[in-house]
Structure 1
Amino acid sequence: MTLHKVSHFNKAMPPPQGKRHFSAKNLAFKSKSLLYLLCRTLIATSMRFSMQQRLLKSFLICLSLFVVLTVMMIFSSRIHVGFMGYLSALIFGTLFTSCGVVIGDMFRRFVMPDLVFASGSFDMLCKKVFWLIGPQAIGWLIGYMGYQGFMRNVLGFYI
């Protein structure tokens, strides 16, 4: 003997009575609620990135920054390092700063407080912004200094 669970979803829905009225007010309410659900979903899923997704995101951000910096170096009248210098700047700059950002993110996830006290709204904004991007930015800066030292002392390019 098999037991079947019966719910109201399994029953046939009665046909709608009368005409449906689509007004601008109903449409605006539906679009606002859809936008709210979309934003809520994006925020909820952005907080749950896996380590691999965070690594890829950090790598792509650092790569895009160093593409811009390399293009600026190419068109600069003060920096002349040749093709291999520009290519190594792009590759090693991306690697060093990506490592710094990932280490900064791991540090942030380890030491981020659960509760933050503030004296006002601006103080709270400053603390929230710091804990959102602060350790990653510090890691990027340390990675950039490591990249500068590597380019100067190991490869001999003065950038």
Structure 2
Amino acid sequence: VVSILMVTFNTAPEVLGAGFFAKLFAVVVGTLLGALGAHIGDFLRRFAMPTATFTQGGFFSLIFIRLFWMMGPQLVGLVGGSLIGITLVLM
């Protein structure tokens, strides 16, 4: 879904000038590299996630920290991998 949205709503000249099959191939490569990036992000999350969290921001700061360590590195890897895959194909 991320790769499809990136190709569909991108107004860069490289994307607008590409044909249907080039965009389709970019979505496939972006999906594969996005999945790889999400797996790398999950590995880094498991490696770097703290066992205890201390905060002075209160309850909502604690919720933000928990949500980040639950899915933050995976989303960063997913978006980064998708962008790299799409860029490599449509350059």
TM range (shorter): 0.7 to 0.9
Runs of 4 or more above 6 Å deviation? none
Give the alignment of 1:28-67 within 5 angstroms: 64-67=1-4
Aligned to 1:154: none
Once superposed, what is the RMSD of the aligned Cα atoms?
2.1
Give the alignment of 1:27-106 within 5 angstroms: 64-72=1-9, 79-106=16-43
Question: Is the contact made by 2:42 and 2:73 (CA closer than 8 Å) also made in structure 1?
Answer: yes
- 1:81-105 Cα offsets, whole Å, 9 max, x none, are 1122111111011011111011101
Cα distance between partner residues in 1 of 2:80 and 2:2:
15
Q: Which runs of 5+ in 1 are unaligned?
A: 1-63, 152-156
Aligned to 1:121: 59
Give the alignment of 1:133-144 within 5 angstroms: 133-144=71-82
* Letter of the 1:130 counterpart: F
* Letter of the 1:127 counterpart: I
**How many residues get paired?**
87
Higher alpha-carbon Rg: 1
Using the size of structure 2 for normalisation, the TM-score is 0.76
* Letter of the 2:46 counterpart: R
Cα distance between partner residues in 2 of 1:132 and 1:105:
9
Larger helix percent:
2
Larger relative contact order (CA 8 Å, sep ≥ 6)? 2
Question: Is the contact made by 2:29 and 2:86 (CA closer than 8 Å) also made in structure 1?
Answer: no
Cα offset, 1:66, TM superposition:
2.2
Q: Which runs of 5+ in 2 are unaligned?
A: none
- 1:7-46 Cα offsets, whole Å, 9 max, x none, are xxxxxxxxxxxxxxxxxxxxxxxxxxxxxxxxxxxxxxxx
